[in-house]
Amino acid sequence: MTQPEVHPLFNDRKLKLGTFCTNIQGGTIMSSIEGQATAAWESTLPIALLADEMEFEAQVPVGRWRGVAGNPEDGRPSMEVFTWAAAVGAVTKNSSIFATSHISVMHPIVAAKQGAAIDDITNGRFALNVVCGWQQEEMEMFGTPMLAKQDRYACAAEWLEIVKRLWTEEGLVDFKGRFYNIKEGYLQPKPTRRPHPPVMNAGTSEEGKHFAAKHCDMAFIPPTTFEEIRQQVDSYRAIARDYGREIQIWSYAYIVQGDTEDDAKSFYNHYVHDLGDWKGAAARVKSIGLSAPPMSEEALRGVMERFIAGGTGYPLIGTKDQIVDGLRQLSAAGLDGILLTWPRFHDGIARFRDEIHPLLLQQGLR
């Protein structure tokens, strides 16, 4: 099979789209609503095929190993990401297929070899999401303390250098650094994509921005207001250009669609306020330190609601026209791409294909 000349992530569409978190129970929501995504092939497969049918540029899983400590109900099942990527990559033909790798639990030689295999399976559509930190409870499960914040990106730079050298250099690779010592590292076959598969990172601190701008092809930023997104995009691009590079900027959103705006809001209230996992959301907020220093009760509940509704994604709630307008505004804020989720993932993306995607095509966003 002839490999596409251009990687799916680097086509010329104005607004690139992807799916997010289809490998985990619930996707990005924390609710007991029926019809949500599950950590099973029978759930993720039809979603992947619908995204591929629309030629979504990216399908990105979340790397999870356990739930939040102290809250057994949040121990949501999830499919391991490299295995997931190989399986999804084998049955799709258009989307780039990501694996998400935590540097603290995945050795760079292993990640490089797995990535090369998936790149072959996907005919050059593999991409790697590098995660430098994560929830401490999950990382400590492996018996290795999570690195201090000031060390994570230094370690990640070594980790990624080793991966890229294994992907691109012929012969054996030696590396001696502060965190890794590689003696005669070997990798064959190499990835089919040249020079190597694209890399994404979600750094938001100044250290994280510089790491992504210097070493990665894509940066993934948290969604806020349109103006704040624009500022984040401009800041990232300026840093990347200081390194003589251009970088794509992506974010994510969740879609709650109704025939009317009231229908959409009613559905939102049902899965969030009637069926939301507020106990789990409280544990999640505590685990990542958002409740310290103490917030007001109202502010804390607002943060919890965001976790329940869509994992802090940007809310696109309303009719098909309102959702199209929201996507247009996110694009106008400077984003290259947006990962999407739905509370009822399969039903939501199917409706998106039938009702919203044609409008995006008509407006020249796709």
Q: Could you tell me the residue ranges of all domains in the chain?
A: 8-256+311-362
pLDDT greater than 90 at residue 245: yes
For residue 70, CA distances in Å to 75, 213, 245, 282 come to 10, 36, 43, 11
> Which range has the worst mean pLDDT, 6-15, 103-112, 258-267, 285-294?
285-294
Average pLDDT on 179-194 reads 96
pTM for the whole thing? 0.94
Residue of 241, 242, 235, 240 lying closest to 221 (CA atoms): 235
Cα(319)–Cα(299) distance, integer angstroms: 28
Average pLDDT on 266-279 reads 96
pLDDT greater than 70 at residue 53: yes
Residue 75 has what pLDDT? Answer: 65
pLDDT greater than 70 at residue 70: no
> Residue 290: pLDDT band by 50, 70, 90 thresholds?
low
Question: Percentage of the chain with pLDDT > 90?
Answer: 79
Complete DSSP assignment for 280-317: HHHHHHHHTTTT-SPPPHHHHHHHHHHHHHHTTPEEEE
Q: Are strands 337-341 and 248-257 parallel, antiparallel or unpaired?
A: parallel
Cα(117)–Cα(111) distance, integer angstroms: 10
> Which range has the worst mean pLDDT, 54-63, 157-166, 213-222, 292-301?
292-301
Q: How many CB atoms are closer than 10 A to CB 190? A: 18
Cα(182)–Cα(55) distance, integer angstroms: 39
pLDDT greater than 90 at residue 291: no
CB 256 within 8 A of CB 315: yes
Residue 247 has what pLDDT? Answer: 96
Residue 146 has what pLDDT? Answer: 74
Q: Which residue type does 328 have?
A: R
Q: Are strands 126-131 and 96-102 parallel, antiparallel or unpaired?
A: parallel
**In the chain, beta strands by DSSP E:** 16-20, 58-60, 96-102, 126-131, 173-176, 181-185, 199-201, 218-220, 248-257, 314-318, 337-341
Cα(170)–Cα(186) distance, integer angstroms: 9
Structure token pair of residue 143 = 């018996």
pLDDT greater than 80 at residue 135: no
Residue 280 has what pLDDT? Answer: 86
Residue 67 has what pLDDT? Answer: 65
Cα(295)–Cα(153) distance, integer angstroms: 29
**In this predicted model, what pLDDT tens digit does every residue of 191-212 receive, in sequence order?**
999 999 999 999 888 999 999 9
**Residue 273 CB partners (closer than 8 Å, separation 6+):** none
Cα(215)–Cα(245) distance, integer angstroms: 9
Average pLDDT on 105-124 reads 97
> Which range has the worst mean pLDDT, 22-36, 71-85, 215-229, 347-361?
71-85
Q: Are strands 181-185 and 96-102 parallel, antiparallel or unpaired?
A: unpaired
Evaluated on CA atoms 312, 314, 319, 323, the torsion sign reads negative
CB 134 within 8 A of CB 102: yes
Residue 143 has what pLDDT? Answer: 79
Residue 68 has what pLDDT? Answer: 58
Average pLDDT on 242-251 reads 97
- Quick one: which H or E segment has residue 119? helix 108-121
Residue 1 has what pLDDT? Answer: 63
CATH top-level class for 8-256+311-362? alpha beta
Which DSSP letter does residue 14 get? S
> Which range has the worst mean pLDDT, 59-68, 190-199, 314-323?
59-68
Q: Which residue has the tokens 């069926």?
A: 275
